[in-house]
Chain A
Amino acid sequence: MSPGRSTASPRTPPESARLSTEIRLAVEQVSYAYSANPTQAPLFTLEATSFQARPGEIVAILGPNASGKSTLLQLIAGVLQPLSGRILLNGFVIHSLSPRNRAQRIAMVQQESRLLFPARVWEFVLQGRHAHGRSLRFESSDDILITQNALAQVGAAALSDRLMDQISGGEKQRVILARAIAQQPLLLLLDEPTLHLDIAAQVGLLDALRRLSAQNRYTVVVVTHELNLAAEYADQILLMQSGRCLRVGPPALIYQRELLEQVFQVPLKVEMRGHGRPRVTILSDS
């Protein structure tokens, strides 16, 4: 374990001290266009988007379907190449990194993937160590320690020897998170991690995420549809609509009734709660 990344203090620091001034992730005027055929007009465009995030900060990307949330996440992950602009991680351009170097710094938690052949939970989490060694090798005792640690951090140590297709959806999502932790990343990306989870599992996952980002100083970027969970857990909200980033800022600034109604096309009510976190209630037409 490299000392720079894992020297997390065991107790959660106070809110004010938690966010450092150091910029970890900088998205600078990034745009993207997707077209099935290079001669045709693009089917989808992402207009120039910029934001910054610091270590330990959780950024939530919100927006209706086809607003460009996942595209932005893929750009940050380095899987898509931006049309213009650049994305810096600790000052390095993400797209100039090799896949291996990128995976040492960025971990992605995707909606569950189907496995071709059944694997054990520990085998799955061990995959996170791939980028940290040579291509053909046997796992070191360090790798095993980190794997066990990662499983413990998400409270899934007991699942270690179970098969991946024999655990529940919530457990599986935590195991996928454990694999991302085993990657020891600087930047943790999550694509709708709470999808298909029951409420307890959603809260459990996000609590774990908040704890981890504080402990391990991860910068977290999460794409979600859950307005209230985002309001509760995120430090920064990125509000998107049809390929455009409308606004970036803390939840209290973004959660305004007119703005949200215009973006999500439903009548709703926004209440501000005591600790500065807003809450949204969807109003039915009747």
Chain B
Amino acid sequence: MKTTLPPRLRPAALAAFVAFLCAAAPSHAQSATHPPTEPPPFREVVDETGRTVRIPQPVRRIVSLAPSLTETIYALGLQDRLVGDTDDCDYPPDAQKKTKVGGGINPSLEVIASLHPDLVLATKSFNRPETTHALDQLGIASYATDPHSVADIIASTKTLADVLGVPEAGASVAEEMQHRLADLQQRLEDLPPKRVLFVVWTQPLISTGQHTFLADALHYAGAISIVDSSRDWPQVNLEEVARLQPDLLVFAESQPGSTSREMEKLAILPAWKILHAVRDRRYAAISDAVNRPAPRIVSAIEELARQLHPAAFAEKPSDSKKESEKENPPSRPVALRASSPNLFPPHRYSSSMGGCACSR
């Protein structure tokens, strides 16, 4: 089914906007009172940003305003209820076929309203509070998540599943994530963490601070960032890096092969050549998925762990539900097939989570 977008009106056209408000409000009221036999089934919850929201039950039509939320909905098996998502929602590929409501920063309220959603999902780091306020004004329920760590993601996924009326699916997804992380932790237990430089951008050198998903993900993957900064995306002095001499460089890979190209580019520069890791081409690539607070982050962490600590995976073959895994040479940043159906097809990374954009 191909949904045609209604013509987007310029926000400046006041008349059109007024007309839109008049048209949208009654239509929503109509959809809300559609099942006249039942008492108005609402459920009141407090979302992760502290707002109290009244959510119509059951939630049949969902609009997602962030790629991570779209991925979570697919992971919970609710893809059929997803009626709209953003331009940035590209994973899984099927998500690209959904009706697009625009970008996460500035979605089209008109398109959202025209989809008659029961619930709009937002996430604090990717969307603006103005958007949820505007949705409130239109009488459209919205729920916002705000995870800050890998553990938060698991908890958030669980709560979200509950809000959407599928607590069992949430529990199983959360359990799987926890199980896989625990397995990983067990494998890496006795190994000293690798000291890595996470490279967000090379010229100038931008890395990640201690309070980001990336730092947390690195930690789970058996690595520790040599950069100790309270800023989320600090510009780092190369001298300091040369003094600390990281074991490896870690890149977030936007395109297959981009990391090795990047590495070759650095290897010819005098300033970078003094890093042993650059000289010896010691590097690892991590999927862009680390930037999305969604269940897939576990796969990205596993993938990185395999590259950082190949020995841990060679000695003790996995006894869990993983499919055929081939051992990978230490520094080959091939897109690994981790467990579960979360594959990494070559895709274009597109969102910039929480204002960050890490894809080099």
Note whether A and B contact each other (Cβ less than 8 A). no
Q: What residues of chain B have their CB less than 8 Å away from a CB belonging to chain A?
A: none
A residues near B, CB below 8 A? none
